[in-house]
Amino acid sequence: MAEMPMGTLSIAPNVFWVGVKHYNRRLFDGLIPLPHGTSYNAYLVVGKDKTALIDTVNPGFEDVLVDKIKMHADPAKIDYVIMNHAEPDHAFAGKHMLSLAKNAKLVTGAKGKEAAMMYFDIPEDRIIVVDESSKLELGGKTLRFIDAPWLHWPETIFTYLEEDRILFPCDFFGSHIAYGEFYADEYGNELSVDLAKLYFAEIMMPFRKPGANAVEKVKKLGVKMIAPSHGVIWRDPNVILEPYTRWTNEKMKKKVLIAYVSMWGSTEKMAHALWEALVKKGIEVQIYDLTNSDIGHVAKELVDTPVIVVGGPTVLNGIHPVAAYPTMLVKQLRAPTKYAALLTSHGWSGGAIKAVSDLLAGTKIEIIGVVDVKGPPKKPEFEKVMALADTIEEKLKAF
């Protein structure tokens, strides 16, 4: 199990971070790399009359959560356990908390109620269903709720603490980092936004429309602080609201992503020639050799890149599997990519072109060029690469 420092943090009068920093977790969902670990941020709001716990922690950390709550309140006397989102990294310990606090209720939305009963066997009579008209008065602390469906599960709600103007949006505006600091500005806003972009790409990008709706709702609240349930807390909400506005509204940059894998250098030579040609045209290029790249960073580029160029040789009548992966990601993450191109090579029979076309079928992505070479690339293929650079330059004029 991870290192577990026992501290808590007061983020406002009688509002405490009581979460867990999971420093050595290296993978989320068996898929997402966590180079900086992650945190499960639970928050305790202690009113004059009642106490609420907002979100809980990942399975295995229940006792840590309880010990941290004890520093500020009696866990057996918690009145409300608020479940913004039913994924176990925030909701699993809810059942444990209800078993300790016999009179506590789980507070969630209508869909959250279904999820709590299905995933965690929470009895119906222990659940209070809230909507945007609901308020929980804790005594000098008032909690309201914002409907935020599909961010990133259907049942998601946000909790808003009126007096302190703190928003608790669970995964939304989150990031994966577990080092010693708590606030975005402590790590530096630039690094924090970059990590939030990585998180957005991996988790929220497929849900841009509900995300844009939620961002507009949050802007109307006039929040002073955004306290997600992973990673940094935003003391200046505009630092994260501004990029989230861009990312959810598909604001693109004049940028090209080249993601390639090469076996004997043919694909790589074409990828590098295209890179050089685009850079000479003044176009920003992010290029990833997929054999030594964090796939999360490739996903991050997809947030605001209109053109992706996939490079990969034919292997056994299909695309090299390492090149297939980012192509699948584009589709599964519903990236806002507008145009794609393929650089590929083969020795005796092709197959990569059909494989990539099949992988992108059903998307609105337009394939604007293919350069396929038998054996190593020579002058005719490099001329085709230059022509592809011209086509990309033309397409990017719209951004």
Give min distance, CB of 230 to ligand FEO, in A: 6
Kindly tell me which of 89 and 164 has the beta carbon lying closer to ligand FEO.
Answer: 89
Give min distance, CB of 240 to ligand FEO, in A: 16
CB 107 within 8 A of CB 133: no
Kindly tell me which of 17 and 260 has the beta carbon lying closer to ligand FEO.
Answer: 17
Give min distance, CB of 206 to ligand FEO, in A: 13
CB contact set of 251 (below 8 Å; sequence gap of 6+): 245, 304
Give min distance, CB of 54 to ligand FEO, in A: 13
Kindly tell me which of 87 and 268 has the beta carbon lying closer to ligand FEO.
Answer: 87
Q: What DSSP assignment string belongs to 205-220? A: GGGHHHHHHHHHHHHH
Kindly tell me which of 38 and 345 has the beta carbon lying closer to ligand FEO.
Answer: 38
Give min distance, CB of 209 to ligand FEO, in A: 18
Kindly tell me which of 96 and 269 has the beta carbon lying closer to ligand FEO.
Answer: 96
Kindly tell me which of 229 and 262 has the beta carbon lying closer to ligand FEO.
Answer: 229
Give min distance, CB of 21 to ligand FEO, in A: 14
Residue number of the CB atom closest to ligand FEO? 87
Give min distance, CB of 152 to ligand FEO, in A: 6
Count the neighbouring beta carbons within 10 Å of the beta carbon of residue 389.
24
Give min distance, CB of 312 to ligand FEO, in A: 31
Kindly tell me which of 36 and 152 has the beta carbon lying closer to ligand FEO.
Answer: 152
Kindly tell me which of 90 and 320 has the beta carbon lying closer to ligand FEO.
Answer: 90
Q: Supply angle C-alpha 333, 339, 344, rounded to 5.
A: 95
Count the neighbouring beta carbons within 10 Å of the beta carbon of residue 7.
11
Give min distance, CB of 203 to ligand FEO, in A: 7
In the complex, the residues that contact ligand FEO under the rule CB under 6 A are 85, 87, 89-90, 152, 171, 230
Kindly tell me which of 22 and 141 has the beta carbon lying closer to ligand FEO.
Answer: 22
